[in-house]
Structure 1
Amino acid sequence: MHPFLEKVDNDSEAYFVHHNKAEEMLPMHQHEKHQLSYIEGGVAFLNTSEKSYFLPARHFLWIPAGTKHNVTSRTSVKMVHNFYIPTSLFPSKHVLSKTGGIYPVTNLLMEMIYYTEEWFGEITKKDAEEFEFLNAFRNVVLHVAKIPFPLVLPTTDNENLRVVLKYIHDNIDQPLYLNDLAKRFGYSTRSFSRMFQKNMDTSFLQYVKLTRIVRSMEKLLKTDQSVSEIAYSCGYNSLSSFSYTFQQVAHISPAEFRKQNL
């Protein structure tokens, strides 16, 4: 086990708090505590064996205990705030005990995160003031984690399909049609479509649409490109088509998404 994970799981009844200017570069791993992470000043992804969750600014990622995962970032980050919560201090029937996701950070939650910036390591009942503060923090998380951020990309262990997914990501600015990709990778259109649906639990068209929106969100947060420029660079042939699809998926316009998250 990685030395850092040994520290996290050392005392099953203790909170563990870790603030760092760079993420712990860990491969797929798991631990015995629930994890809340807030990544300040960057764009990141929570990857599990089944899904990839896009983490925009002003959102926290939630990872239930025992979930295999890693976190990747395509940008430099200012600070990563990690909180590891004992399962005994969390309602076992709450959706967060079983399901990972991305949730908005309220002003109150952000102030509580910043309040703990000087705390590092285990917080036990002996640390009465800090322990009670983290209990309150836990209760705020339970209250605000109602509606997860809607954008989740499915993934797969199927090596043949992973090659296809990489091609999609590498060529998202180009037209991507089911027939063309099936032919490129040596499948009939029907078998290619079935393979996609069986392994990804979504259609080829839906996956491409979600990937385009994820890429556009990254660009909205990382670049100074106009919304129109981003639309074309993500494979859309009109601004109206992009704006409609973005609103449909994210329930907010591209301009408002950029404004709220910067």
Structure 2
Amino acid sequence: MKHTQYIDTLILKQLTPERHTIGAIKDTNIVENVVWHQHKETEIIYMERAYGTFFLGDSLISFNPEDESSIIILLGSLLAHSFFYHPNRTLDHSEESNVISILFHTETLGEGFFDLPEMQAAKQLIGKANCAYIVTKDAVGDIAILMEELCKSEGIHRLTCFLQILDLITKQDTITQLTGHTLANEKIGNDLLTNIIQYIHENYQKELSLRETASRYHMSVSAFCSFFKKYTGQTFVEFLNRLRISKACEKMLTCNDDITSIAYTCGFNNLSNFNRRFKQFKEETPRSYRSRYKVSE
């Protein structure tokens, strides 16, 4: 399994040639396990045939082929995040994935650029450090085309592609906020937190005890709780329940198992607790969620 390295300096300094102001990465190989980290740049990510679970500050969101054919997420500066890829969720294993990341910061185009009157909408959006947004389904295609074009462009055309992307993203009803909490001034990227998140991700279906999990990482319960809340903005139980509900949503849309079976499969030991947590995080019942989103076969 591949891992990224923790980055505590500007990615742009390590990534891009001197002739490029706007950083861009295009790859057909998915990093299956991206460590919990943060960076100073704002990042726009396009993912095609790449499905898994994003942990974004105090929230998580899962994607699979039945939900979306492709997605674009905007990550604000210093938002702590990680990603776990689900290679078995792709519809066609013979197809390559496609991932593009565009990276920039408020002084990328010079000090004061985002203070120009024409850039106020963009400044208001990217100025919200610690926030994540998802681009609405209807806007993904047009923005993805520009991101592809930016990756192969040089000179002024590269800059115009970037400005067009910003223009589309900042239009009304183009994006929806997903999350908005992390500790912006803390260094988040240590292997311990990554290992804990990966352990939860791999064992959410089981009965995970707070005490046993803390002991596994040689910490007292109080020390573990303090550490986990400090870097994720959530308690261990809340984080676990959010993950379980996210997985339950995925199963309800991709299989025909009854809701009770799905609840138990996702780690809930009784249906009433599942229903209560589901309504807490999704603001509707499991049955209504499935009825609204599941595509009839």
Same fold (TM > 0.5): yes
Q: Is the 8 A contact 2:136 2:176 kept in 1?
A: no
Over 3 Å counting, the alpha-carbon distance change for 1:34 and 1:241 in structure 2 is same
Correspondence 1:255 to 2:290: yes
Which whole-Å CA distance do the structure 2 matches of 1:198 and 1:133 have between them?
A: 38
Q: CA RMSD in A?
A: 4.7
Correspondence 1:101 to 2:132: yes
> Following TM superposition, by how much is the alpha carbon of 1:122 offset from its aligned partner in structure 2, in angstroms?
3.1
Q: Give the percent of matched residue pairs that are identical in Structure 1 and Structure 2.
A: 18
**Mapping of residues 166-185 of structure 1, within 5 Å:** 166-179=198-211, 181=213
1:136 corresponds in structure 2 to 164
Correspondence 1:112 to 2:109: no
SS across alignment from 2:178? coil
> Following TM superposition, by how much is the alpha carbon of 1:165 offset from its aligned partner in structure 2, in angstroms?
4.4
Partner of residue 178 from structure 2, selected from 114, 138, 149: 149
1:5 corresponds in structure 2 to 15
> Following TM superposition, by how much is the alpha carbon of 1:80 offset from its aligned partner in structure 2, in angstroms?
2.4
> Following TM superposition, by how much is the alpha carbon of 1:235 offset from its aligned partner in structure 2, in angstroms?
0.9
1:43 corresponds in structure 2 to 51
Letter in 1 for 2:178: F
> Following TM superposition, by how much is the alpha carbon of 1:226 offset from its aligned partner in structure 2, in angstroms?
2.6
**Mapping of residues 38-77 of structure 1, within 5 Å:** 38-46=46-54, 53-56=60-63, 57=68, 59-64=71-76, 72-75=84-87, 76=90
Over 3 Å counting, the alpha-carbon distance change for 1:255 and 1:205 in structure 2 is same
Q: Is the 8 A contact 1:39 1:60 kept in 2?
A: yes
SS across alignment from 1:103? strand
> Following TM superposition, by how much is the alpha carbon of 1:218 offset from its aligned partner in structure 2, in angstroms?
4.8
SS across alignment from 1:149? strand
Q: Is the 8 A contact 2:247 2:266 kept in 1?
A: yes
Q: Is the 8 A contact 1:16 1:122 kept in 2?
A: no
Q: Deviations over 1:194-248 (max 9, x none)?
A: 4544554432321221221233345456x53535233211112344543442342
> Following TM superposition, by how much is the alpha carbon of 1:121 offset from its aligned partner in structure 2, in angstroms?
2.3
Correspondence 1:233 to 2:265: yes
Which whole-Å CA distance do the structure 2 matches of 1:207 and 1:23 have between them?
A: 25
Which whole-Å CA distance do the structure 2 matches of 1:60 and 1:193 have between them?
A: 33
> Following TM superposition, by how much is the alpha carbon of 1:32 offset from its aligned partner in structure 2, in angstroms?
7.8
> Which deviates more from structure 2 when the two are superposed, residues 28-37 or residues 109-118?
28-37
Q: Is the 8 A contact 2:46 2:99 kept in 1?
A: yes
> Which deviates more from structure 2 when the two are superposed, residues 35-44 or residues 237-246?
237-246
> Following TM superposition, by how much is the alpha carbon of 1:189 offset from its aligned partner in structure 2, in angstroms?
5.0
Structure 1, gaps ≥5 residues long: none
Letter in 2 for 1:74: H
SS across alignment from 1:209? helix
2:7 corresponds in structure 1 to none
> Following TM superposition, by how much is the alpha carbon of 1:83 offset from its aligned partner in structure 2, in angstroms?
3.9
Q: Is the 8 A contact 2:54 2:81 kept in 1?
A: yes
Q: Is the 8 A contact 1:153 1:210 kept in 2?
A: no
SS across alignment from 2:208? coil
2:8 corresponds in structure 1 to none
Which whole-Å CA distance do the structure 2 matches of 1:210 and 1:40 have between them?
A: 24
**Mapping of residues 157-236 of structure 1, within 5 Å:** 157=190, 159=192, 164-179=196-211, 181=213, 190=222, 192-198=224-230, 200-220=232-252, 223-224=254-255, 226=257, 228=259, 229-236=261-268
When normalised by structure 1's length, the TM-score is 0.65
Which whole-Å CA distance do the structure 2 matches of 1:187 and 1:30 have between them?
A: 24
Question: How many correspondences in the alignment?
Answer: 250
Over 3 Å counting, the alpha-carbon distance change for 1:207 and 1:171 in structure 2 is same
Letter in 1 for 2:98: M
Which whole-Å CA distance do the structure 1 matches of 2:59 and 2:101 have between them?
A: 19
SS across alignment from 1:249? helix
Q: Is the 8 A contact 1:5 1:31 kept in 2?
A: no
